[in-house]
Amino acid sequence: MTLRLIAAPGAAALTRRLSAKLDVPLCRLESRRFADGETYLRIDDEVEGCDIAVVAQLRDPDPQLAGLLFLADTLRELGAAKVGLVAPYLPYMRQDMRFLPGEAVTSRSLAKIISAAFDWLVTVEPHLHRHASLDEIYHLTTAVVPSAPAVAAWVQTQVAHPHIVGPDEESERWVSEVAALAGRPYTVFEKLRRSDDVVELVLPEVQVMRGHTPVLVDDIIASGQTMAMAVKRLLAMGFAPPVCVGVHAVFAGDAAGLLQRAGAARVVSCNTLAHPSNAIDVSGALAEAVRVELECVHAGEEEGSGSAFAGR
């Protein structure tokens, strides 16, 4: 089966990398907005009978989703065989429960929409907190690329005497993986609520960190508040300015400035979302996941859902 890649608007650079790594052609997509804001799409290549992987970097998902769904539908109408989605950053995963009565559980809603539109999904390090795995909410074939190997390799080569630090308890999952792969120790901040308004970050093991460079690792840098708070706390405790590693560089608003003002030595991210902080390339692992995923889809090894690569 012939595989072709198609870049959703904004994902051209990553799609070119994937196309080179997989040695498969790109499909041309013309995309623009009409004056009233509606989306115009034209697929300017033959797709009939081909497997298509749509690559989308969903930093700002609300305006991006309509075009993505139209694209998937058009590909099917034009006779594409299997239509997959490569979304290295999977948005909406943090609204994973109804915190207040009547709230939308948008992780679940988006999963239903994506599952109906595509045949398979490959992503990197989704924010799995209250959902144990993607397969709980996504009903298509899914594969998860872990970010820890690439992050650990970067830390090993770029930081002298690193001590991996998680900015909150939720981060322990990825922080412990990075530390194990890098062969380095790790510590995770605990949040202590002193009053309704005052939350204090506490490090359980301080002495073991002395003389090391703290490397804060989190899955997402969005507003930058979580990371900035941890940076300030580490500096107040007398540690060297920390290196901040975020897997997904959402960087909403002034997040980059916030981290700089907090005193971070360096801020880097994986290239799941294009951003000037991208220093860790995950395109090789992504390409391999796409290759394996397609083999599995065609071998009929999955029944409706399941993980072909490194899902969890």
Options 219, 231, 244, 294; binder of ligand R5P; rule CB under 6 A: 219
Token match 């040695």: residue? 23
CB atoms within 10 A of CB 276: 10
CA 135 vs CA 252, 307, 310: distances in Å: 28, 8, 12
Q: Residue 302: how many CA atoms within 13 Å on its side-chain side?
A: 23
The answer to whether residue 170 forms part of the interface with ligand R5P (CB under 6 A) is: yes
The answer to whether residue 288 forms part of the interface with ligand R5P (CB under 6 A) is: no
Q: State the nearest-atom distance from the C-beta of 112 to ligand R5P, in Å.
A: 22
The answer to whether residue 310 forms part of the interface with ligand R5P (CB under 6 A) is: no
**Shortest CA distance to 68 belongs to which of 118, 119, 107, 16?**
118
The answer to whether residue 145 forms part of the interface with ligand R5P (CB under 6 A) is: no
Q: 43 or 144: whose CB is closer to ligand R5P?
A: 144
Q: 48-107: which residues touch ligand R5P (CB under 6 A)?
A: 94
CA 102 to chain centre: 28
The answer to whether residue 225 forms part of the interface with ligand R5P (CB under 6 A) is: yes
Options 31, 106, 156, 223; binder of ligand R5P; rule CB under 6 A: 223
Q: Which runs of E-coded beta strand occur in the chain?
A: 3-7, 26-27, 29-33, 39-43, 51-55, 83-86, 120-124, 141-145, 162-166, 186-188, 190-193, 199-202, 213-221, 243-249, 266-270, 278-280, 306-307
Q: 127 or 184: whose CB is closer to ligand R5P?
A: 127
Q: State the nearest-atom distance from the C-beta of 174 to ligand R5P, in Å.
A: 8
Binding-site size for ligand R5P (CB under 6 A) equals 14
Q: How far apart are the C-alpha atoms of 140 and 296, rounded to whole Å?
A: 12
Using CB under 6 A, which of the segments 58-66, 154-162, 222-230, 295-303 binds ligand R5P?
Answer: 222-230
Q: 67 or 224: whose CB is closer to ligand R5P?
A: 224
Q: 56 or 221: whose CB is closer to ligand R5P?
A: 221
CA 35 vs CA 64, 215, 290, 298: distances in Å: 17, 47, 36, 42
The answer to whether residue 108 forms part of the interface with ligand R5P (CB under 6 A) is: no
Q: State the nearest-atom distance from the C-beta of 67 to ligand R5P, in Å.
A: 25
- Residue 276 sits at the vertex; the CA angle it makes with 270 and 278, to the nearest 5 degrees, is 15
Q: How far apart are the C-alpha atoms of 123 and 100, rounded to whole Å?
A: 29
Q: 124-143: which residues touch ligand R5P (CB under 6 A)?
A: 127
Q: 24 or 128: whose CB is closer to ligand R5P?
A: 128
- N-term to C-term CA, the chain: 27
Q: Which residues bind ligand R5P (CB under 6 A)?
A: 94, 127, 168, 170-171, 218-226
